Amino acid sequence: MMQTEKLDRVVIYVKDIEKSKALFSDLLGIEFDEIPFPDVDPVRMVLGGDASQPPAGGADTGPPGNWRVAISRAGLELIEGALEPGAKPYVACYHFKVQDYEGAKAEMAAKGIPLNSDITLGRLREAIYQPEGEDGPLMGLVSYPDEYVMDSIKSKG
């Protein structure tokens, strides 16, 4: 059975990351670190399947070029560039840190929950699922060795 260590992050898709960071900083004293995509190595996103064997129609790519991502130690992640035009900001994903990343992915596959994407950022591994169908939020299973996720993202893989 999958063992989760903690609810790692709640992801909010936002229109303006600077305004959102200022809002949470002013209201709650939360500070953010932005992912420095050009400096992260490796960056790998496999869409729609297993990272070892991208499916037909899948893609092995980097992050979308228009995305900006900021993460806080408080467990809040803000993503600018993911909203559809005219959409309002919303909670898009919950990330859970798991003890056995590959085992957790295998368990999700055994339960018939398709993998949406498998992401590597530095030493962070992140598998994204949509277990409630298109109307439900995304769920991420993450694994990283450092205490703070950004330290693992900024580390060389």
Residue 157 confidence (pLDDT): 62
**CA 22, CA 29: separation in Å to the nearest integer?**
9
Residue 42 confidence (pLDDT): 87
Closest CA to 104 of 140, 134, 64: 140
Closest CA to 123 of 144, 105, 107, 103: 144
28-58 residue pLDDT tens? 999 999 999 888 888 888 887 554 444 434 4
Work out the average pLDDT over 10-26.
98
CB atoms near residue 66 (< 10 Å): 8
N- to C-terminal Cα separation, the chain: 28
**CA 136, CA 52: separation in Å to the nearest integer?**
27
72-129 residue pLDDT tens? 999 999 999 999 999 999 999 999 999 999 999 999 999 999 999 999 999 999 999 9
Is pTM beyond 0.85? Reply is yes
pLDDT at 61 over 60: no
Closest CA to 142 of 1, 10, 35: 10
Residue 136 confidence (pLDDT): 84
Under CATH, to which class is 4-154 assigned? alpha beta
Residue 53 confidence (pLDDT): 44
Q: What is the domain partition of the chain in residue ranges?
A: 4-154
More confident residue, 117 or 60: 117
Q: Which residues contact 75 (CB under 8 A, 6 or more apart)?
A: 7, 8, 9, 10
**CA 47, CA 58: separation in Å to the nearest integer?**
5
